[in-house]
Every structure is written in C-alpha cells, then in structure tokens.
Chains A and B, each alone.
Chain A
C-alpha cells in the first residue's frame, strides 16, 4: 500500500493514528487530578513533538544511514526559521510560502556547508559542521543584524510591507500566521467529563507535514538510494572499488536532511513567528543528535520517539518541583519525607538534564539501538515465550558451514 511493504505500511499507519489522536492520547489524566501535570496534550508541546520529530527524522537520514555525524544541523533549523519570518514580513502571513522558502533556503545553505564539510569524514566532518554552525550562530548574533535582528531576534512588526495581504489586522495588533485564512492558533476545545482535549489548527498542519516527511523518510530508507547510503556507512572502500562515487550520495543525504531541518524551522515560525540566533547554537545541534541516538539511529521510528521523549522531559518532567515531591511523599513521616525529597531534588525540576543525561548513558551502554531496541527486546521476550520451538530450530540452522 502507498508503495510500502506490509510491515512499513503498518508502522506508518500506527504513526498516523498516534499523530491524529495525540491530543487525546497525551491527555490521559482528568484536568483536576493530581496527575494532570503529566498531561502533554496541549498544542504548544504537541507541535514541538512533531516539529522536532521532523528535525530528527531528517537528521537520521544523514546520520542513521551514512554514519556521518553532523554537529551543525541547528544552522539549517535557524536558516529555515529566519527565511520563514522574512516571508511573513515581506510576502504574506500565509504559512505555505514561508515553509516552502524555509526548506529551499535551508537546502541551499546545506549544499554549501555539505560540499565543504563532506571533503572529510569521521570526527573531522563533525568538527567542520560544528564550526560552520557556530559561525552561522555568531554571524546571526552580531554581523548579520540587519537580516537577523541580532540578539533581540527577528519578529513581525506593524510596518512590515507584506505585499500580498497588506498591513496589520483591523484592531492594529500584530497579524498571526494563517493557512489560507485558518489561523494557526485556532483551537477547538472539547470537555468530556473530567477530561479536556484541545484540537489545534497549527498542530494538525504540523501533523500533515510530519506525516509526509515520515513517509518520504520511509521511501528513502527502502530505495536503492537508501541502500547506497547504508553501504557507505558500512564500507566506503568497497563502494569506491565497486564503481560508485560516494561524494554525491553523501551530499544528497546531507541536503535532504538539511531541508528536513529547514521544514522544521519553517513550521516553528509558523506556530510562533519569531526567530532568534540561539536556534542555531550548538546545543540545538547536540539535542537532535541525542534525540536520534536515544530513539535509535538508523531506525525509522526511533528519531520520532527520541524527539518526543526529550521534549516530554524538557517540558513535563522539569515541572516537578519540591512542592510536588512533598505532595507525593506526604504520607511518610516528616524526617523521611524531607530526606527523600532532598535526595530526589537534584534530579527533578531544573535538574531534569541530570536525569536525562543518566538515562542517555544507560541507553547508550545497555541499549545501543536506543528505545527501538528496547521495544524489540520486549517484543522478542514475548514471542520467545510463545514459540520456543521455532527459536531453537533457528539457532541450529545458523551453525557455520565448516
């Protein structure tokens, strides 16, 4: 179906269902329950899940397939963001041109950076991309102030020309991004008993782009082009002596992943028309590396899981403060309660980075395949219990010929 094999189609279908029903799935707790703070089903966060999902899926096409670890992908996210805001300022508040131009600008930018960086491989490639991204950040922060508005960040103003749809809205406030009239911030709230769900226009626009991006990624993974990229990761020497020029393959992968990053940047400013230089900083590049590795580099769904996981941590786990902890452990005697809260304190709230770092270490050490490998192991555990005979048969079959 859709040019996918049965297994891939099932995966795609699951992702479609998850994305479409995310506003419900991510809000499992009633609004006034104690657990309500773990609800992640509000538009702002869900949009971020999808946008960073796109970013990580694109990054995975480069890193997961070819093994080239770029430490500068935030530069493309930032370039896309600036391009998007400029489209809002100059052309129209419609998100479509903004997103398309963001992709094109990020793509052109990645051709330049990729062409130079891909002359080296391994750690030198990583350092080159890092250097380029930091240069871009520094330029955006200071020298290119007329384009980027420096440290204030690029934002809309009432004086912007907006050739297509004129100046500000009727009441003189700043215009908002729309999709042919549909405002991105439009939401439809549904209350069902104790539960409240928000269906947001911007979220569903992101969802469409994310699903298309995910579909494209699956097709690339299963194409001869994707096979070539995996072969490059496996053995470049053999590629060269098999008559294949690896340079254009890696550059194509680099540009595709740069355009995915540009798409993410364009969507980001479509949800919130503001672009700052910090979007290009190396911590952002590092974040997408973490997402991909945490979820499972080289797998289809891994980067999406990783992106969701990290964004959930950043936004939800970080809200657990001492008061919340005291609330949880109130049933304990006072001394013990204080002791436990004191122990847990560094790991929650502002200390969420520490917990995430520990989890990341555990995953890298014990589950090199990331969350996807965890899923597979659990899956295997169950299937082994079901048919131990099959497994035994397989192990005898794979004895070497000698």
Chain B
C-alpha cells in the first residue's frame, strides 16, 4: 500500500475526458515520475491531488485519509507540498521572509493571529529558515528581493520553501520547464540530494527525459488520460507501447 493511492479517478471537462480510470500508487520514500505527451492529463491529475480540482469519480487517499473535498491549504497541512511549473514564490518579500512563511505555516497551522509578536524575534523560525537556505546554498541571497533572482534561484527557493515544511510527499510539476541547461542540472542535483538525504516521497511530472531518468525509480506513462504502463525506468525505455505513444515522437 503506497502513501498515495489514486483509484479509478475520472475527470471530464465538457466533452473531453481528461482523466479516465486513473489508478496510481506511489510507494513511500520513492521517486515516482508521471510522464506523457502534451494533453495526456498529467497536470489535471496533479491538480486532483492537491485540491485544485475535484475528480468526478474515484478516490485519492494520502496516508489512509481522503484528500477529496479538502482545500489546498488543508491538503498541504496533511503533508503534501507542491512545486509549480513556473516558480510560485513571494516576489515582493525577501528570500528569508519567503522561507519564514512556510515555517510559520508548519509551526502555527493555517491561521494564527500573532500580530503582537515580532518577526525578528521568532528565533526558532529564523534559525530553521537559515539552515534550509544554507542547505540549498542560498544563504548569501538571504536579504535579496525574491523577484530579482534568476529563474534557477527562484526554483531552488521554491523547492526549499516546500522542503522546510518537512512534507511527506513532494509534488513537482515540470520543475525544469523553460530552464537553461545549467539550471536544469543544478535542479536535478538538488532533487537527487534531497531524495538521498531525506525520507521523502517525490512525485514528479516531467517532459524532460533526462530529468526523469536521472531521478525516477518508477514511471507511469499517461496517454489520453489513461495510464498506459507503469514500470521501472529501464523497462520503460524499451517498452514498445511507450515508444509509440511518447518516446517515438522525440527519440
């Protein structure tokens, strides 16, 4: 039984069957990639996991609890963090403030009226945020405005913001989309290190085969909203159906 269990999920947008009978099981402490051509329903599936969309039928269980009917912030509080396709960070805030907010969310829950406290006196939160920044090599950018950083740094910051919450499941939506090669490699290295050092389950949606094959332990191939195959990277590479549906176009 995996930490994330998706069973018979269907999602229809008008006449379009975006997801048809999707079954997916993500094993704890593994890295599971979901690949597929454009329009295969990868992002729709991800949005069903985080509460942005509600499937028409089926169930999504995280650690034995259903996520359906919960809002994104409640699902995050259950232990699922999401990294977006374009980095979603707090551009107007400094890097350290960006890191402090998820720390507050972890410590105080979804709402706490601490208007009497002082941000610069919250030692435990600042310390935790700084350790995480150090870990991703960004401590030198501590007081920079987040919006002024390069795309690679923004991605790095976003991943750090998710990690500092110590999530049990990290969802990555094309984390290297639109990135320069050097930034892509840096991100892969970072994710590899995270996987090795922390007990964390990663589910990744990715277009870039280089990224997928360097990270994933299991791969699910989606095509037209339905899982085609689920197997190890080595087997996926040679699978005729996959070649036809997906790799055939690029390889």
| A interface, CB within 8 angstroms of B | 3, 5, 219-220, 222-228, 230-231, 233-235, 237-245, 248-249, 252, 256, 398, 400-402
Chain A at the B interface: mostly helix, strand, loop or mixed?
helix
Contact present for A241 and B50 (CB under 8 Å)? yes
Q: Which residues of A contact B153 (CB under 8 A)?
A: 401
Could you pull out 6 A-B pairs where Cβ atoms are within 8 angstroms?
A: A224-B100, A227-B100, A231-B93, A231-B97, A240-B71, A240-B72
A225 vs B109: C-alpha distance in the bound complex, in angstroms? 13
Assuming the A-B contacts A240-B71, A240-B73, A243-B165, are A226 and B88 also in contact, with contact meaning beta carbons closer than 8 angstroms in the complex?
Answer: no
Assuming the A-B contacts A223-B116, A237-B88, are A243 and B93 also in contact, with contact meaning beta carbons closer than 8 angstroms in the complex?
Answer: no
Contact present for A234 and B91 (CB under 8 Å)? yes
Contact present for A241 and B92 (CB under 8 Å)? no
Among A240, A245, A252, A256, the one with the most B-chain Cβ atoms within 10 Å of its Cβ is A240
A230 vs B147: C-alpha distance in the bound complex, in angstroms? 14
Chain A-chain B contacts (Cβ-Cβ < 8 Å), number: 118
Assuming the A-B contacts A223-B116, A402-B180, A402-B182, are A244 and B93 also in contact, with contact meaning beta carbons closer than 8 angstroms in the complex?
Answer: no
Binds A, one of B19-27, B61-69, B75-83: B75-83
Q: Does B8 contact A (CB under 8 A)?
A: no
Interface size on B, residues (CB 8 A): 46
| Smallest beta-carbon distance B81→chain A, Å | 7
Besides the known contacts A225-B114, A401-B152, 13 further A-B residue pairs in the complex with CB atoms under 8 A apart: A223-B114, A227-B100, A227-B119, A228-B101, A231-B101, A233-B92, A241-B73, A242-B73, A242-B102, A243-B102, A244-B101, A256-B115, A402-B182
| Smallest beta-carbon distance B132→chain A, Å | 14
A34 vs B104: C-alpha distance in the bound complex, in angstroms? 59
Which of B102, B104, B161 touches A224 (beta carbons < 8 Å)?
B104
Assuming the A-B contacts A242-B76, A242-B101, A242-B105, are A230 and B93 also in contact, with contact meaning beta carbons closer than 8 angstroms in the complex?
Answer: yes
Q: Does B213 contact A (CB under 8 A)?
A: no
Contact present for B114 and A243 (CB under 8 Å)? no
Q: Which residues of B contact A219 (CB under 8 A)?
A: 115-116, 118
Nearest 9 interchain pairs by C-beta: A243-B76, A225-B115, A234-B90, A245-B110, A234-B92, A243-B105, A240-B72, A238-B88, A248-B111
